[in-house]
A and B are shown apart, each in its own frame.
Chain A
Amino acid sequence: MNATEDHADPRAGAARVPGSSGPSHLDQLEAESIQIIRETVAECARPVLLYSIGKDSSALLHLVRKAFFPAPPPFPMLHIDTQWKFRDMYALRDRAARAAGMDLVVHVNPEGLAAGISPIVHGTARHTEVMKTQALRQALDLHGFDAAFGGARRDEEKSRAKERVVSVRLPGHRWDPRAQRPEFGTLFNMGRGPGETLRVFPLSDWTELDVWEYIAREGIEVVPLYFAAPRPVVERDGQWIVRDDERLPLRPGEAVQMRKVRFRSLGCFPFTGAIDSEADSLEAVLAEMRTTRRSERQGRLIDFDPASSMEQKKREGYF
């Protein structure tokens, strides 16, 4: 018996809610994302999946696999390694690439590495600029990628709400909000002028809750850091910072304590805040998501630069 005949199997894709006539919102979002992914691959010479190992990347990778099954996705994955990700993240990265049958390209900014750029010494802004923004530009240029898939969603942040699904980057990877093309439904112009590249966001219309519901429905593996567990933390700037390795020096008066925490959003460990939580399973995380009154990026310290800092970073080539 194949899966679709078994309506008890939520992974059948056509899961229907009793009393509703059409496909569920997850079915619609999935179909639209797959359409966007296939269109990009058909129209671009050298696409790449920008993979950050977070939950959105995991959902996106799953959609990419579905779009091309039974073939493996016909493009590589790219991880911009800032060297300060959680250890659990590196482990999942290598496993996920193998499972998908995709080539994994890991890029570290060699100049940043040589200069020993560290968030502890140089601050988060400088570290992000050198090891993330500059590194991404380097990697795209080095491999000649003309379209990069990203897992950004419009509900994450105000300036993202106006981002296109297919976002044109000018030569030098600059983002000019005024130069973006109007989009009409799923009819996308993927044309590229000289030196232009595309960022493609198949999860644009998804919310954080949609992503979690999809992860649960499809049985997608995510980093265990999303689930609550006792972890060594220090309190810093009003956030719980998990001390993932010894590179995080303690400030005067700081003490490491064990607390049951989890992450809603994962960045580099020295500046990603964890939240107090008892949600140690997918069901518990979903339940927490449905009642929380806090936004997802509350733990991302890089957002708390002056207003419109995300917009500013995007203009410079941040994803």
Chain B
Amino acid sequence: MAAAPAVGGGLVRVLACGSVDDGKSTLIGRLLYDAGAVPEDHLRTLAADSVRVGTRGGELDYALLLDGLAAEREQGITIDVAWRQFATPRRRFVIADAPGHEQYTRNMATGAAAADVAVLLVDARKGLLTQTLRHSRIAALFGVREVVLAVNKMDLVGLSQEVFERIAAEYGAFASRLGLVRVTAIPLAAADGDNVVVRSARMPWYPGPTLLERLETLEPADASHEGGFCLPVQWVNRPDADFRGYAGRVVRGRIRPGDAVRVLPGGRETRVARLVTLDGDLDEAGAGRSITLVTADEVDVGRGDVIVASAAPLEVADQFEATLLWLDDEPLLPGRQYDLKIGAQRVRASVNPLKHRIDVDTGGRLAAERLELNDLGVGELSLDRPVVFAPHTEQRELGRFILIDRQTQRTAAVGLLNFALRRARNIHWQAHRIDREVRARQKQQQPCVVWFTGLSGAGKSVIANLVEQRLVELGRHTYLLDGDNVRHGLNRDLGFTVQDRVENVRRVTEVATLMADAGLIVLVAMISPFRAERAQARERVTASGAAFMEVFVDTPLDVAEARDTKGLYARARRGELSNFTGVDSPYEAPASPELRLDGAAGTPQDAAERVVAAVLALRATGALP
């Protein structure tokens, strides 16, 4: 790189965003070019590309410096966030170039999450567009506190001061409603370089800084130095019995040896003994630094714990109001479980209820039963364990989380913790003296949940009934929860949409868990078409201490449909029933059930005997044979 060295002022991260055709790529390309950050051989390629596919009649098309993927050049669009580095004698910059076309919400959030400042492009001819407001809203939500409004293509409005000032005033009013108070408006003609790096001779009425001057002088609104010390522990460094250090990156405050600290969520107190580095011990470390901290006393600290200044503890909670941006093709289903990662903490989480969706254009609330790709919404978040946090408006790193789909491991959502719900702090588990073990001993059996899954008409209820009869003959205590029957009472308010099916399974799971806790052998017969909910049922039951056995009644669709014992397939085919599993709603077969029963071959009696044998073989430990 031809760039001069940065001599101070650290690293500033810039998010560049704007609507389609505002000239964003041109602006960034021009910025890199004028700052001398484009090497000669890249310029030669650019000159050739400009003639071949350029949009400026063979003149240098700076936008071509940025479109990196073949698909982008072929389709003439930008798909993904591109990261550019450059330096001036005053500062080192990283620019996140967030495209305004496809996936704009996701890309904007990605860029904003890391940015100190957003450069927002506006076409002077068009003024503020819906997209401008949308981009500002997302940037503000994901933590950007400073905006440079780049009013571009001034040459196409006759370099008019009046046009510029009108747009700047209009935007200022809007931005302050979003809490964006630090706004600088700059008039530009990016293609010609006016006010990018060099002051425009054509707009003498503008007395302010050029874009680069502004970026070089702004002070990032960095909240990380305010507030007490806070270190999320990423890794426990324990090479031998003599050394035990806690490694992580300081997200807030400063620390020195001797300082009193508290380990959350446990709350144990100790002091800092040493701050260890390869270059010798430190006598102080501040926000942003990756450190290894040794405590004065032997305290039990693990990954995910957060070490804070004793005087400034953080909150711990397991229920929140949260704002979510959905990122997966699979929609958010209230009640479904996801993995949640916040800092180095990882827990299970579900959203229930989803309160509303947010209209990104207006900020208004919309009714919602689910969140689809790129939807923004607000809901209540329940975790299976408490986490240490700070509201996202106070601290980015401790208020921001991702949800991970447990089947695919894809990032399903990024979210912001708004506040902890009061009730999370007040409800405690009642400890019972008579517990599951006592009740199981009394009944002389191993409580468990046997979960029959399969298509409608597969034979689940028939087999489950036979299993129950046989177990009762053998003196066991059982209960059969039948999918059809629970819909008459417990779940009478639920239909057959995807989200209702998820809720249906969740409620039955809870009831089955309680019954197993009461010492019963619980038989569940329901279609339960989705792998995720069955996995969730398994975890819920096994976490409670009871055994779980998944029985797949594997009857091919044509066989089940030919039987059509309830006449439902015929109605579904006639279009009288919608969301019917196997017809217009999917069935996800179990990958590794404890038992697979071939519903097309053999008798229900034989199948039932296999299940009974497996139930009786359960050992007292609750482990499966």
A3 within 8 A of B: yes
Within 8 A of A (CB), among B286-311: 286, 288-290, 292, 303
Cβ of B234 and Cβ of A42 under 8 Å apart?
yes
- Closest residue of chain A to B115 (Cβ to Cβ) is A185
Nearest CB of A to B16, in Å = 13
Interface string of B227-271 (1 = CB under 8 A from A): 000000011011100010101110000000000000000000000
Chain B residues within 8 Å of A308, by CB = 69-70, 73
Assembled-state Cα–Cα distance A68/B236 (Å): 10
Chain A residues whose C-beta falls within 8 Å of the C-beta of B86 in the assembled complex: 207
B70 with A311: CB separation less than 8 A: yes
A212 closest partner in B (C-beta):
B5
Q: Could you tell me the distance between the alpha carbons of A158 and B80 in the complex, rounded to whole angstroms?
A: 12
Q: Are A24 and B8 also in contact (CB < 8 A) when A183-B110, A207-B1, A293-B2 are?
A: yes
Q: How far is the CB of B490 from chain A (nearest CB, A)?
A: 34
Q: Across the interface, which residues of B come within 8 angstroms of A67, CB to CB? A: 247, 290
A159 to B80, alpha carbons, bound, how many Å? 11
- Determine, out of B183-191, B272-280, B555-563, the stretch whose residues face the partner at the interface: B272-280
Taking the complex as formed, is A174 at the interface, i.e. its CB lies under 8 A from any CB of chain B? no
Structural contact, A69 and B234, CB atoms closer than 8 A: no
Closest Cβ neighbor of A5 among chain B residues: B283
How far is B342's CA from A158's CA once the two chains are assembled, in angstroms? 32
Instruction: Say if the beta carbon of A34 comes within 8 Å of chain B.
Output: yes
Contact indicator A182/B411 (Cβ below 8 Å)? yes
* CB 8 Å contact bits of B3-35 with A (1 = contact, 0 = none): 111111111000000000000000000000000
Q: Are B249 and A19 in contact, with the CB atoms below 8 A? A: no
Chain A residues whose CB sits within 8 angstroms of the CB of B505 once the complex forms:
none
Is residue A140 within 8 Å, beta carbon to beta carbon, of the partner chain? no
- Nearest CB in chain A to that of B339: its residue: A191
A185 to B343, CA, bound (A): 11
B358 within 8 Å of A by Cβ?
no
Inter-chain contact B9/A209, CB cutoff 8 Å: no
Do A162 and B113 touch across chains, with their CB atoms under 8 A apart? no
| C-alpha gap A179/B3 in the complex (Å) | 33
Residues of chain A contacted by B526 (CB below 8 angstroms): none
Q: Which of B133-141, B161-169, B400-408 contacts A (4 or more CB under 8 A)?
A: B400-408
Interface status of B84 (Cβ within 8 A of chain A): yes
Rounded to whole angstroms, the CA-CA distance of A205 and B409 in the bound complex is 25
Query: Which single member of B2, B85, B107 contacts A205 (CB below 8 Å)?
Result: B85
Q: Which of B92, B107, B114, B243 has the most CB of A within 10 A?
A: B92
> Would A158 and B68 count as touching, CB distance under 8 A?
yes
* Residues of chain B with a CB closer than 8 A to A24's CB: 6, 8, 10
Q: Which listed residue (A72, A185, A294) contacts B400, Cβ 8 A?
A: A185
- Counted as pairs of residues, one from A and one from B, with CB atoms less than 8 Å apart, the total is 233
Contact A191 B404, CB 8 Å, known A20-B8, A23-B10, A69-B277: yes
In the bound complex, how far is the Cα of B344 from the Cα of A38, in angstroms? 10
Residues of B within 8 A of A160 (CB): 68
Q: Given A20-B10, A35-B234, A38-B234 in contact, is the A155-B1 Cβ separation under 8 Å?
A: yes
Please, which residue of chain A has its CB at the minimum distance from the CB of B142? A184
Smallest CB separation, B138 vs chain A (Å): 12
The reply to whether A184 and B408 form a contact with Cβ atoms under 8 Å apart is no
Q: Does B589 contact A (CB under 8 A)?
A: no
**Nearest-CB residue, chain A, relative to B289:** A31
Given A4-B282, A71-B237, decide whether A159 and B11 contact each other with a Cβ distance below 8 A: no
Interface size on B (CB < 8 Å)? 84
Answer whether residue A133 sits at the interface, using C-beta atoms and an 8 A cutoff. no
Contact (Cβ within 8 A) B1 A189:
no
Q: Which of A103-111, A117-125, A284-292 contacts B (4 or more CB under 8 A)?
A: A284-292
User: Across the interface, do B288 and A31 meet the contact criterion of CB distance under 8 Å?
Assistant: yes
Q: Once the chains bind, are A189 and B409 in contact (CB under 8 Å)?
A: yes
Which residues from B are CB-within-8-Å of A204? 83
Query: Is B327 a contact partner of A182 (Cβ separation < 8 A)?
Result: yes
The reply to whether A209 and B3 form a contact with Cβ atoms under 8 Å apart is yes
Contacts of B82 in A (CB 8 A): 161-162
A252 within 8 A of B: no
B290 proximity list for chain A (CB < 8 A):
30-32, 34-35, 38, 67
The interface residues of chain A lying within 8 Å CB-to-CB of B92 are 25, 210
1/0 per residue, CB under 8 A from A, across B398-427: the answer is 001110100011110010000000000000
Question: What chain A residues lie within 8 Å of B327 (beta carbons)?
Answer: 182
Q: Could you say which of A17, A71, A162 has the most chain B C-beta atoms within 10 Å of its C-beta?
A: A162
- Of residues 543 through 593 on chain B, the ones whose CB sits less than 8 Å from some CB of chain A are none
Cβ-based interface call for B71 (8 A): yes
Contact B1 A162, beta carbon cutoff 8 Å = no
Stretch from A7-15, A50-58, A242-250 contacting the other chain = A7-15
User: Within residues 28 to 77 of chain A, which ones have a CB less than 8 A from any CB in chain B?
Assistant: 28-32, 34-35, 38-39, 41-42, 65-72
- Which parts of A253-277 form the interface with B (CB within 8 Å)? none
Complex interface residues of chain B between 52 and 90 (CB less than 8 A to chain A)? 66-71, 73, 79-87
Q: Is B94 an interface residue (CB 8 A)?
A: yes
Stretch at the interface among B36-44, B479-487, B491-499, B608-616: B36-44
A120 to B54, CA, bound (A): 38
B101 within 8 Å of A by Cβ?
A: no
Interface residues in A273-319 (C-beta closer than 8 Å to B): 286, 289-296, 298, 307-308, 311-312
The answer, among B85, B342, B410, for a CB contact under 8 Å with A155, is B85
Known A-B contacts: A19-B8, A68-B237, A177-B79. Give 9 more (CB < 8 A). A34-B290, A38-B290, A71-B238, A158-B66, A161-B68, A182-B109, A183-B113, A189-B404, A207-B85
Tell me the A residues contacting B by CB distance below 8 Å.
2-5, 11-14, 17-20, 22-25, 27-32, 34-35, 38-39, 41-42, 65-72, 154-155, 158-162, 177-178, 180-187, 189, 191-193, 196, 204-210, 213, 286, 289-296, 298, 307-308, 311-312
Residues of B within 8 A of A (CB): 1-11, 39-42, 66-71, 73, 79-87, 91-92, 94, 106-107, 109-110, 113-114, 142, 222, 234-235, 237-239, 243, 245, 247-249, 276-284, 286, 288-290, 292, 303, 327, 339, 341-344, 396-397, 400-402, 404, 408-411, 414
Report the 7 A-B pairs with minimum CB-CB distance, sorted nearest first: A191-B409, A17-B8, A71-B239, A20-B8, A158-B68, A295-B39, A184-B113
What are 30 A-to-B residue pairs whose CB atoms are below 8 Å? A3-B280, A4-B280, A20-B8, A22-B9, A24-B8, A28-B10, A29-B11, A35-B234, A66-B278, A69-B276, A69-B278, A70-B243, A71-B237, A161-B66, A161-B83, A161-B84, A162-B69, A183-B113, A184-B109, A185-B400, A189-B341, A189-B410, A191-B404, A192-B409, A193-B409, A206-B85, A294-B40, A295-B40, A296-B1, A308-B70
